[in-house]
Amino acid sequence: MALEFYNKIRPSIINSYWLQYFPRTEIIKTAIEEKIIKKNMVAKIEDGLTSTSLVVGLGNKDTFVPERTYANFQFFFMLLPVLPKAITNWVIRKEIYLKKFKPPMVINVSLKLIINLINKRGGVYWGIAKSTIYFSIYCLKIKYRYRFNK
């Protein structure tokens, strides 16, 4: 399991990405065989009526098999580099990552920022902020010119 693997190697940052279920692909059949999704979900996936991944709480409502929710993996992957091994082992043993809870987004974002600053990756966030500011100013200039140059 990924949590056990990362707990052994203890990387400083873990970025996790989620599987996308695209219509009429082989992965859907595999997910059904592994009991990750139910057969009745195929039509919903193909009609675009479900979240496109197992990131529960983002996108559409949770329509996948509730007892196989993996939404908390991302949260624990983010915390794992700063959690002691013993606590992570306890989380794995008690399967807390399978419990259905959704920490508020402000906690997720704040923790991610703090962890990245601790790991001296603040430049990434400064770059994102700078690009956002430049883009916003550019859009305002275009809007201003369009508005007054009719």
- pTM (2 d.p.): 0.51
Q: Determine contact, residues 64/56, Cβ cutoff 8 Å.
A: yes
Place of tokens 């400064």: 126
What's the rounded Cα separation, in Å, for the pair 56 and 35? 17
- The more confident residue out of 56 and 111 is 111
Model pLDDT, residue 150: 59
Mean pLDDT of 121-142: 80
pLDDT classification of 71: cutoffs 50, 70, 90: low
HSE value, Cβ hemisphere, 13 Å, CA-based, for 3: 26
- The more confident residue out of 31 and 99 is 31
Q: Is a pLDDT exceeding 70 seen at residue 69?
A: no
- Domain range list for the chain: 2-121, 122-150
